[in-house]
Amino acid sequence: MSAPTRTRAVSLLLDPGSPNSIGMPSPPAGLVEHDLYDLPELDLGSISGINLASSCDQVFLGRHRDLLEDFVRSGGRLLVNGHVAEPFLTGLVPWRRLSYKGPRDLEITSLSPHPIWEGIDLRDVLYRTGVPGPHSFEELERIGVAGFYGRGYHLPLPESGRAINGVGPLQAPIDYTYPLGSGEVVVHGGVDLITFVDPHRTTARLGENILGWLEGTA
């Protein structure tokens, strides 16, 4: 049996290499960053998975929807981060803003398992702070800022879609997945998933989970 030819995981974003100002960890080694506008020049035949950053230009992606769709239908995996305003691929639905009053309205709950979130305690994605060091959940309730993970949802889901995580007491789907041809699309409706890697929380493994899924090994 020959070795699989599609093994590379790439991340497409607006401006690779630009400094991030909120002190977030670097993406895991193995996830190679490219400028979104280089998409038409990429050798998609060697790529197993694409992470689309929330900064991506959705007008440009819409112009290249055939290329993206061929990539997924032929077995590729696509992780879409952020807020889809103009669906640029078959099956994507628009993000809608949630009405919220406080952290309880923004709590994330698991609705079905997915390899990307395996081993992640979703309480660990609710709060973010720049105060250095590890913090207990109770401490974060006092000093943390909630809502980075997401403040919106996707309804109705595409016909073949499955909700992965819900937001708020009504558990509106914030993360969902659907098959497309031989491939799979996962949508995370919030700040880029890769930025939630934190060595002090269960999200320490999130980077490896994402990479493993994009590489097709998870």
Partner 1 sequence: MSTPEIAFIHGGSGSHLTTLNEPALQPYRLRPIYLYDLTPDDLSDVDAVIVADREHPKLLAQHGKTIYGVAERGGVLAVFGQNAAEQWLPGVGWEPRPTNFWWWRTGEDNHMRLQRTDEPIWDYFSERAMIWHHHGVLTPPEGATTLVGVEEDGTMVGATTYYDTVSTAGELFVTTMDPCYHHGAAFMPGASQLLYSTVRWVEHRARALSG
Chain residues that interact with partner 1, rule: CB under 8 A: 14-15, 18-19, 21-23, 37, 54-60, 82-86, 95, 97-98, 128-131, 142-145, 147, 151-152, 191
Q: How far is the CB of 151 from partner 1 (least distance, A)?
A: 5
The sign one gets for the Cα dihedral 203, 57, 87, 62 is: negative
Give the residue with the Cβ less far from partner 1, 45 or 94: 94
* Coil/strand/helix, residue 107: coil
* Coil/strand/helix, residue 28: coil
Q: How far is the CB of 13 from partner 1 (least distance, A)?
A: 10
Q: What are phi and psi of 207, to 5 degrees?
A: -60, -45
Q: Tell whether omega for the bond before 156 is within 30 degrees of 0, i.e. cis.
A: yes
Confirm if 98 and 69 have CB atoms less than 8 A apart.
Answer: no
Give the residue with the Cβ less far from partner 1, 98 or 185: 98
How far apart are the C-alpha atoms of 172 and 153, rounded to whole Å?
Answer: 6
Q: How far is the CB of 150 from partner 1 (least distance, A)?
A: 9
Q: How far is the CB of 100 from partner 1 (least distance, A)?
A: 8
Give the residue with the Cβ less far from partner 1, 2 or 99: 99
Q: How far is the CB of 67 from partner 1 (least distance, A)?
A: 16
- Give the CB-side neighbour count of residue 91, counting CA atoms within 13 A: 21
Q: What six digits make up the tokens of 110?
A: 């698991």
For the CA atoms of 173, 174, 179, 184, the dihedral, rounded to the nearest 10 degrees, stands at -160
DSSP code per residue over 43-104 = -GGGEEEEEE-TT--HHHHHHTHHHHHHHHHTT-EEEEES--SS--STT----EEPP-SSGG
Q: How far is the CB of 176 from partner 1 (least distance, A)?
A: 16
